[in-house]
Amino acid sequence: MSVFKDAGHLFRFAGLFVLAFVVFLVVRHFVVPKSFGQYGHYRGAAIGEIAARPVKFAGHEACESCHTDVVDVKKAGKHAHVNCEACHGPQAQHADDPTGVKPPLPDTAVLCARCHTASAAKPKGFPQVVPEDHSTGLPCNTCHKPHNPGMDAGGAK
Amino acid sequence: MNISRRQMLVLLPAAAVAWKSVLAGTPEDAPNYSMSDHWWGMLIDIPKCIGCGNCVRACAAENDVPDGYFRTWVERYHVSDENMTNPEVISPDGGKEGFPVAQEDDRKYFFVPKMCNHCVDSPCTQVCPVGATFVAPDGVVLIDPKYCLGCAYCVQACPYGCRYIHPRKEVADKCTLCYHRIVKGLTTACCEACPTGARQLVDLKNPKDPIHEFLKTHSVQVLKPQMATGAKAFYNGLDGSVR
């Protein structure tokens, strides 16, 4: 008994620690998001939030489901593996509302030159021209069909 | 054709699985995405890159990347035989509007598209003090913008320089591998827009993904392998001069 005779102040001190720990647990319960630690040391719900961001490029499958005529033209030529939105830009809005949102036609003089302007830095097998010499600045679709551009492959206009 | 009962037992479930994937239909309606079924990465085929900048523009459009900041960018290397360790590298505005015309000389040219490598042992997630960046169960390194403090430890930690502090949101930002697209069965915006197929989204957990055959038959390298980051951006035809 003599051991605990003057120990009252220690119990009060220990009680304070226990109280602080309980407060810590309560605060932690409200502050830490529910999904924290669901998959690891991060907020699991963040994955769903990131996945819910809006899509701007509809993807070529969406285009091809309506524009079957272009698919047929394209698959015969050298642009068979160039996706629609590589040239036409992001078209998710058009895919969602085909009549309301009409994509503008690209200017072929600018568009084609982005890939096909001759440069020593490009891979040697890639078809390249010097636009000024090749067409004196005329838009490429004066002679070529952009969806099947090869002149010898039925692509000439 | 005679099919035994044993063969039928094998064939029927296989047909059911195949039919299910047919019925999955348009990728927009694919809520059945399961993180544990995928392990995403990227294949970058350097000999196919023409430096058009389509990927950089597509990424900026898809992800609202502010001007002057890049989740992906393209570098043009100009390397001489004598001084391979000191290449001349340019990336005007990240290659967004392409590159100036290059004249033929005695040095070699090539383009190197760069992006987040979605490392398995990513240094950026290890240094985050609050758990705002992480490797998701499908192998994509993501940032939780609500949890990020903007301390920029991760920006310093990334050996590939793929992160930046978003000027308006003031949190770390980088390539999400178009996570909002790949969960819907779409490919990334950069892959969708690449005209030559120089970039391919790959799923290492999908046994039918052509990446397995490609890795088997090509000399493929990752950037800075000595950093042991477990990078999942695989480069075909990567020159030794690339940093």
B196 and B206 Cβ atoms separated by less than 8 Å: no
Q: What's the whole-number mean pLDDT along residues B98-124?
A: 96
Residue A57 CA to residue B151 CA, distance in Å, equals 32
> Amino acid identity, residue A7?
A
pLDDT, residue A6, reads: 80
Residues of A in contact with B196 (CB under 8 A): 126
Nearest residue, CB atoms, B109 vs list A57, A87, A120: A120
The β-bridge partners of B233 are B42
CB atoms within 10 A of CB A10: 10
The residue of chain B with its CA nearest to that of A131 is: B101
Q: What's the whole-number mean pLDDT along residues B210-215?
A: 95
- Per-residue pLDDT tens for B54-110? 999 999 999 999 999 999 999 999 999 888 889 999 999 999 999 999 999 999 999
ipTM: 0.86
Which of B213, B235, B216, B215 lies closest to B225, judged by CA?
Answer: B235
Which of A88-102, A107-121, B5-19, B120-134 shows the lowest per-residue confidence on average (mean pLDDT)? B5-19
pLDDT at A126 over 60: yes
**Where residue B156 falls among pLDDT bands split at 50, 70, 90?**
very high
CB atoms within 10 A of CB A74: 22
Two tokens, residue B23:
């019925």
pLDDT, residue B15, reads: 61
Q: What's the whole-number mean pLDDT along residues B151-178?
A: 97
Angstroms from A140 CA to nearest CA on chain B: 17
Two tokens, residue A68:
């079957």
Domains and CATH numbers, chain B: 35-236 (3.30.70.20)
The residue of chain A with its CA nearest to that of B100 is: A119
Average pLDDT, chain B: 91
For residue B40, what are the contacts with CB-CB under 8 A and spacing of at least 6? B118, B138, B139, B140, B177, B182, B201, B202, B203, B204, B232
Q: Is A31 on the interface with B (CB under 8 A)?
A: no
**Where residue B238 falls among pLDDT bands split at 50, 70, 90?**
very high
Q: What's the whole-number mean pLDDT along residues B129-151?
A: 96
- Per-residue pLDDT tens for B179-207? 999 999 999 999 999 999 999 999 999 99
**Where residue A7 falls among pLDDT bands split at 50, 70, 90?**
confident
The residue of chain A with its CA nearest to that of B106 is: A120
Q: Do A86 and B50 touch (CB under 8 A)?
A: no
Q: Do A90 and B62 touch (CB under 8 A)?
A: yes
Nearest residue, CB atoms, A119 vs list B47, B53, B99: B99
The residue of chain B with its CA nearest to that of A32 is: B147
How many percent of chain A have pLDDT more than 70? Answer: 94
Q: Do A42 and B132 touch (CB under 8 A)?
A: yes
pLDDT, residue A137, reads: 78
**Where residue A125 falls among pLDDT bands split at 50, 70, 90?**
very high
How many percent of chain B have pLDDT more than 90? Answer: 84
Residues of A in contact with B136 (CB under 8 A): 39, 47
Nearest-5° Cα angle at B56, B54 to B60: 115
Angstroms from B16 CA to nearest CA on chain A: 23
Q: What's the whole-number mean pLDDT along residues B221-228?
A: 96
Angstroms from B90 CA to nearest CA on chain A: 12
- Per-residue pLDDT tens for A24-54? 999 999 999 999 999 999 999 999 999 999 9
pLDDT, residue B29, reads: 40
Residues of A in contact with B49 (CB under 8 A): 123
pLDDT at B24 over 90: no
Q: How does DSSP classify residue A106?
A: P
Q: Do A57 and B176 touch (CB under 8 A)?
A: no
pLDDT, residue B193, reads: 97
Choose, out of B101, B141, B171, B194, the residue to mutate when testing the contact with A (most A CBs < 10 Å).
B101
Residues of B in contact with A60 (CB under 8 A): 192
Residue B28 CA to residue B37 CA, distance in Å, equals 18
- pTM of the predicted protein model: 0.86
pLDDT, residue B3, reads: 65
For residue A113, what are the contacts with CB-CB under 8 A and spacing of at least 6? A131
Nearest residue, CB atoms, A46 vs list B78, B142, B189: B142
B232 and B119 Cβ atoms separated by less than 8 Å: yes
pLDDT, residue B9, reads: 63
pLDDT at A64 over 70: yes
Kindly list the domain boundaries of chain A, sorted by start residue. 2-51, 60-155
